[in-house]
Structure 1
């Protein structure tokens, strides 16, 4: 089968997904087109034009299935490339534009939201990485369309919602095969250093952690950008002053990063936005106990005894570790556990 895979906003998590899919199904031939994850507003509205220009007539003619991320302006792309109009299309949602926290509403947000609705209508099959993502997408789309003055078809998106599938981004199998090691009482916060990952909540927990007298090192790692949220800088300074700071910043070496997780007792999330939580899932596969907000996607795979609503409650979770095996909670997300579902999806549509 010839599969045209489109990732027009090829962020780190999108790369993680597409590389596993293309490597995991060697019987299929994948043609992969990507665009850099920058210039969000332009990418949302312009990706169909750019992708259409990059496609060759042979690529289009030989395509049996399109597998596109939800950043793809699929409706416009089918109009610009008529040869794709009759080809079955899977639209994969890593996130949706309705539940993403925005500091202020803008025309850019509306354009992204409407584009995602048109793409959903143009797709053959919608697939989401979590039930939370699926439910917030359809709730947000319905709420937006109710605000329109007229012309919204009755039951728009009803069939798409009824037939939508949930298939998380797979966790690499080798993470589950690692031999358990001796763990230090450390915790790792391993997220992008951006506002949607809850830097203010992180600072609150760091303050409560320092006051608690718990002995473990507090590692603050993850992808950094030009501007670092002030709350993260404050948290690092406070931990440094109390000699509690462990690793800091982005760990380039994947083996070293996985070793840190395998040696630490806890993984911490303070996110205001999370549609799957790959960083937490990877850490759980390596044996870390999660300490996460009691919200967003986390109730789908994190037991209640590891979720919190306040900074004080988060520190209590750290002081009194839960007794379950965290890797068991995310075992259904392993690649091998999902491979048959992906294979059956491809075969059913072609």
Structure 2
């Protein structure tokens, strides 16, 4: 058990990544976790918890953790762990995370992330040498990165364009969530949804059977090609995914009497934005499915039946759900911002909600154009078949003095 895996928020994409690593490393790793609840408390107190629960061992060589953990605190409390090679995986950037209300930001969470990847002068000099980090006053920023991602960019190595050195160089690609994606032929059996956790929200239980019945009927019907455009939104029901913009566009389509169906997937938590209940009432019969699907097969079946997948996110480091939907045959429409221009060709990007509306309006009138479309981007590099070996190589590397 030479690899110590620590996850302070063991749910969703965090759990997905750790599960894949466990499967890949098998007997060579040990995993310690905390449940995916009360995220803010986990960020503040996880180091103290793991300091007490992770036993000392002479076998540990590498510590792999997500940035929910305050790594600086843990290594200060446990000097034995501070001696290990450390890999810190950023699922999000707390310095730029959207605030839900107009109030003073709690900078503790961003500060935790800064402390966790802060490096002494000799290590920054090493980074400057191997990845071209340029000084800007007292700050270090890789050239060409959008401002939102600069804080986590120092985790790259000389041969990659991905945080923590987890994937091969690709022009303009700076991402963090590379959880496993197989070939399209094996999607239902192998993929994991980035927005899911182990249990469904009870508010969504009532619709579980609704999807299977409707989609089976649609698939077997004689007018399969003539059915209305099917739009999917497979994201967490939280403010950073900007459901308000998504539903405003759909309600405008409804006002224009344009035919479409919609499946609103993804997991809901304690606080659900009011727009969800309001939109469901207005959308009425246009809704094919509403709510989280705990079954991976059901989730990917829903994506396979959709024509278009939409993101309206205001904060995104990668967007596993969007890439999964593309594997399932969906036409993606994403903001021309955040990480999306680095993954999706310009054809699939929109700059304003008005542009998104116009694209969907045209698709509603001619859904056959979307169904005949072949995706023009490259997604093979995001498959676990490719990335699994990169993780193995990273976690098998012997510690060096310059790490």
TM-score bucket of the superposed structures, by smaller chain: 0.7 to 0.9
The Cα shift of 1:64 comes to: 1.2
1:206 to 240, 250, 271: 250
TM-score (norm 1): 0.81
Q: Distance in 2 between matches of 1:96 and 1:66?
A: 21
SS in 2 for 1:62: coil
TM-score (norm 2): 0.71
The Cα shift of 1:160 comes to: 5.5
Residue 5 (structure 1) aligns with: 5
Whether 1:342 aligns to 2:341 is: no
The Cα shift of 1:309 comes to: 2.4
Whether 1:286 aligns to 2:328 is: yes
Inter-CA distance 42–178: structure 2 relative to 1 (3 Å threshold): closer
1:333 to 382, 385, 390: 382
Give CA deviations for 1:143-187 in whole Å, capped at 9, x if unaligned: xxxxxxxxxxxxxx9x757768514423332655359x9776311
Give CA deviations for 1:255-300 in whole Å, capped at 9, x if unaligned: 1111111111111111112111111111111111111111111111
Q: Distance in 1 between matches of 2:342 and 2:72?
A: 32
Residue 172 (structure 1) aligns with: 181
The Cα shift of 1:104 comes to: 4.3
SS in 2 for 1:116: helix
Give CA deviations for 1:74-112 in whole Å, capped at 9, x if unaligned: 1121121121122100011111111210134546x3111
Q: What 5-or-longer segments of structure 1 have no aligned partner?
A: 142-156
The Cα shift of 1:227 comes to: 2.8
Q: Distance in 1 between matches of 2:148 and 2:73?
A: 20
Residue 228 (structure 1) aligns with: 272
The Cα shift of 1:327 comes to: 8.3
Whether 1:67 aligns to 2:64 is: yes
Whether 1:50 aligns to 2:49 is: yes
Q: Is the 8 A contact 1:269 1:280 kept in 2?
A: yes
The Cα shift of 1:45 comes to: 2.2
Q: Is the 8 A contact 2:178 2:387 kept in 1?
A: no
SS in 2 for 1:225: coil
Count how many residue pairs are aligned between Structure 1 and Structure 2: 321
Q: Distance in 2 between matches of 1:272 and 1:215?
A: 28
1:189 to 213, 220, 233: 233
Q: Is the 8 A contact 1:286 1:327 kept in 2?
A: no
Residue 113 (structure 2) aligns with: 116
The Cα shift of 1:135 comes to: 5.0
The Cα shift of 1:211 comes to: 3.3
SS in 2 for 1:171: coil
Q: Distance in 1 between matches of 2:353 and 2:255?
A: 12
Q: Distance in 2 between matches of 1:263 and 1:138?
A: 34
1:264 to 306, 309, 322: 306
The answer to which of 272-281 and 223-232 deviates more is 223-232
Give CA deviations for 1:175-230 in whole Å, capped at 9, x if unaligned: 55359x97763111111111111121012111222134443311112111233212
The Cα shift of 1:137 comes to: 5.8
Matching of residues 18-33 of structure 1 within 5 Å: 18-26=18-26, 29-33=28-32
Residue 38 (structure 2) aligns with: 39
The two structures, once aligned, show a CA RMSD in angstroms of: 3.0
